[in-house]
Chains A and B, each alone.
Chain A
């Protein structure tokens, strides 16, 4: 795996160079996304001004939650930007390029694009984590380490989930609508306090729409260390990563290419 690190770093550098060709657009999208997140969070600030907590979750938990989710989403979709358009790449025969070069197809395809707006998510997430630390007054090296681990888990599960959903393209054709719905679902559910859900709904958030592994679970782990949660986070990430890679490569055997005229941006 480490053999591919210089190549992935070079790919990310090339993405950055490409984004910098249109730096005004890059900055606008980045700032726009930060504002978008801030406006959304205002809703929770107003909510918790009226109600102290929801089943034990308070505003500080929400800062931790937004910190992990926004940083994870931002970093994930910035570094692996094609995770949100994999279905189009498969359906339109654009995997040819990655298949003709000597690198793992999935890694190469995912890391070949960066979304400018994701940088806004990432920065907003860091601010949110900073605010959470400020309110709790518990800043320390271990918390930063837990935050980094929580974000890595969020990235792994988010990207794996998107890959899993879009790998269905190999079997059922265009899954663009499914991808959009799945993306919206995982974003929405990962930003709600987990204590709102129980029973089947909670089970769904750990399995079919694994939002709990992206939001609540790592956010709680960042706030206070819990060995059981650490095990759950690591196991959940590993299982979803394995499933994503397995299903994608099974599907790739069915890939049918295409003859549409393409451009690499």
Chain B
């Protein structure tokens, strides 16, 4: 069943423009100038219930604006969208009972109070019975490994601990869809990894669908099966993460080391030689032009192999390349 449908969604903001300095301020006072900024330009996509969908793009790509429209925070300029059968900006309250949201830059936990106090407040907001709320908090505390943190004032938690509490709070009412906007922003590698694992576990346990926006490709790679890449408010790529890798991760880099010295003119047909040393070399080839097998057998035939490492570019590099390509195409 489809959880989210978006069709030709657009959002335009009016931005006030002003030249720098006093003269610019005076001119803006007398004759203010406005510029229309299209944050979202005709987005169309769908997300199934229980799906983990990545929504990735650089700063200002329109990710957060889209999430805010889907939660009912913003009204779109035009287009259609439904979340669990509700039009978000028309049925905001009914929808909010069925979805959860976490905005990395906008905490929902009360800063001076322990997270448990916000959890109990959320229990009232979502009209949960006291016994159910206690059971739910105990379950989430265990799943998110936050039992020891619940009674500590939020201001004293680390960013990673706070974010786990934030996501747990958004799941208190067992939402069917979770909208996560940059949940890993500012987290270190370990905290990111822990958060990703917990989100994945909750999705498996409760079947909650997750629409995850991030500018960190690692989040998407670790969590999502499908990815939508947006830039300048438009979708520039939409497919499975595995297809993205297959399609774009075709360039391989090979680091090879031999037990004997290499000739100065060391090389293989169809393979670019990046660097040659006395006992080793660094090579690059594109699998669309040169298959892996002749390269490996060529390397083995060239001498007594000590070590071979074949690596591919990170998903981050691939996405950067996609952004650059769209920038070039759009002029």
Q: Report A's interface with B, CB cutoff 8 A.
A: 6-7, 9-11, 14, 17-18, 21-22, 95-97, 99-104, 253, 255-257, 259-265
Tally of contacts, chain A with chain B, CB under 8 A: 84
Report chain A residues within 8 Å CB of B106: 96-97, 261-262
A7/B125 in contact, CB under 8 A: yes
Report chain B residues within 8 Å CB of A21: 112-113, 153
CB within 8 Å of A: which B47-103 residues: 64-65, 68, 71-75, 92-97, 101, 103
Q: In the complex where A96-B73, A253-B75 touch, is A102 in contact with B126 (Cβ < 8 A)?
A: yes
Report chain A residues within 8 Å CB of B72: 99-100
Expressed in whole angstroms, the minimum distance between the Cβ of B74 and any Cβ of chain A is 6
Q: In the complex where A99-B71, A257-B74, A264-B111 touch, is A10 in contact with B124 (Cβ < 8 A)?
A: yes
Q: In the complex where A11-B121, A21-B113, A100-B101 touch, is A257 in contact with B107 (Cβ < 8 A)?
A: no
Partner of A256, one of B74, B109, B126: B74
Question: CA A14 – CA B125 in complex, angstroms?
Answer: 12
B110/A256 in contact, CB under 8 A: no
Report chain A residues within 8 Å CB of B92: 99, 102
Partner of A100, one of B73, B109, B126: B73
Shortest beta-carbon contacts, A-B, top 4: A102-B96, A10-B124, A99-B73, A21-B112
Report chain A residues within 8 Å CB of B95: 102
Partner of A262, one of B94, B107, B118: B107
B125/A102 in contact, CB under 8 A: yes
30 A-B pairs with C-beta separation under 8 A: A6-B124, A7-B125, A7-B127, A9-B124, A10-B121, A10-B124, A14-B117, A17-B117, A18-B113, A21-B112, A22-B112, A96-B103, A99-B73, A100-B73, A100-B103, A102-B93, A102-B97, A103-B93, A103-B125, A253-B75, A255-B73, A255-B74, A256-B74, A259-B105, A260-B105, A261-B106, A262-B105, A262-B106, A262-B107, A264-B109
A263/B108 in contact, CB under 8 A: no
Of the listed residues A10, A100, A257, A259, the one surrounded by the most CB atoms of chain B closer than 10 A to its CB is A100
Partner of B110, one of A14, A99, A255, A262: A14
Expressed in whole angstroms, the minimum distance between the Cβ of B214 and any Cβ of chain A is 15
Which residue on chain A has the smallest CB distance to residue B96?
A102
Interface assignment of B13: CB less than 8 Å from any CB of chain A: yes
Report chain B residues within 8 Å CB of A261: 105-106
Q: In the complex where A96-B73, A265-B111 touch, is A257 in contact with B68 (Cβ < 8 A)?
A: yes
A259/B64 in contact, CB under 8 A: yes
Question: CA A10 – CA B112 in complex, angstroms?
Answer: 16
Expressed in whole angstroms, the minimum distance between the Cβ of B227 and any Cβ of chain A is 23
Q: Report B's interface with A, CB cutoff 8 A.
A: 13, 64-65, 68, 71-75, 92-97, 101, 103, 105-113, 117-118, 120-121, 123-127, 153
Which residue on chain B has the smallest CB distance to residue A9?
B124
Q: In the complex where A10-B121, A96-B68, A103-B93 touch, is A18 in contact with B73 (Cβ < 8 A)?
A: no
Q: In the complex where A100-B73, A102-B94, A102-B126 touch, is A264 in contact with B121 (Cβ < 8 A)?
A: no
Expressed in whole angstroms, the minimum distance between the Cβ of A14 and any Cβ of chain B is 5
Report chain B residues within 8 Å CB of A97: 106, 108
Expressed in whole angstroms, the minimum distance between the Cβ of A250 and any Cβ of chain B is 12
Report chain A residues within 8 Å CB of B124: 6-7, 9-11
Expressed in whole angstroms, the minimum distance between the Cβ of A251 and any Cβ of chain B is 12
Report chain A residues within 8 Å CB of B68: 96, 257
Report chain A residues within 8 Å CB of B96: 100-102
Question: CA A142 – CA B127 in complex, angstroms?
Answer: 37
Q: In the complex where A10-B120, A10-B124 touch, is A18 in contact with B112 (Cβ < 8 A)?
A: yes
Expressed in whole angstroms, the minimum distance between the Cβ of A249 and any Cβ of chain B is 11
Expressed in whole angstroms, the minimum distance between the Cβ of A257 and any Cβ of chain B is 6
Which residue on chain A has the smallest CB distance to residue B71?
A100
Of the listed residues A21, A102, A260, the one surrounded by the most CB atoms of chain B closer than 10 A to its CB is A102
Question: CA A17 – CA B119 in complex, angstroms?
Answer: 14
B110/A264 in contact, CB under 8 A: yes
Question: CA A96 – CA B118 in complex, angstroms?
Answer: 17
Question: CA A210 – CA B125 in complex, angstroms?
Answer: 33
Question: CA A21 – CA B110 in complex, angstroms?
Answer: 12
B126/A264 in contact, CB under 8 A: no
Which residue on chain A has the smallest CB distance to residue B185?
A261
Q: In the complex where A257-B68, A257-B74 touch, is A18 in contact with B97 (Cβ < 8 A)?
A: no
Question: CA A264 – CA B107 in complex, angstroms?
Answer: 7
Which residue on chain A has the smallest CB distance to residue B103?
A96
Question: CA A255 – CA B72 in complex, angstroms?
Answer: 11
Report chain A residues within 8 Å CB of B65: 257
Question: CA A243 – CA B123 in complex, angstroms?
Answer: 32
Question: CA A169 – CA B111 in complex, angstroms?
Answer: 26
Question: CA A244 – CA B161 in complex, angstroms?
Answer: 40
Question: CA A155 – CA B68 in complex, angstroms?
Answer: 33
Report chain A residues within 8 Å CB of B112: 18, 21-22, 265
Question: CA A207 – CA B180 in complex, angstroms?
Answer: 46
Question: CA A100 – CA B127 in complex, angstroms?
Answer: 15
Of the listed residues B93, B101, B107, B112, the one surrounded by the most CB atoms of chain A closer than 10 A to its CB is B112
Question: CA A234 – CA B120 in complex, angstroms?
Answer: 36
Q: In the complex where A21-B153, A102-B125 touch, is A263 in contact with B107 (Cβ < 8 A)?
A: yes
Expressed in whole angstroms, the minimum distance between the Cβ of A186 and any Cβ of chain B is 29
Expressed in whole angstroms, the minimum distance between the Cβ of A154 and any Cβ of chain B is 28
Expressed in whole angstroms, the minimum distance between the Cβ of A198 and any Cβ of chain B is 39
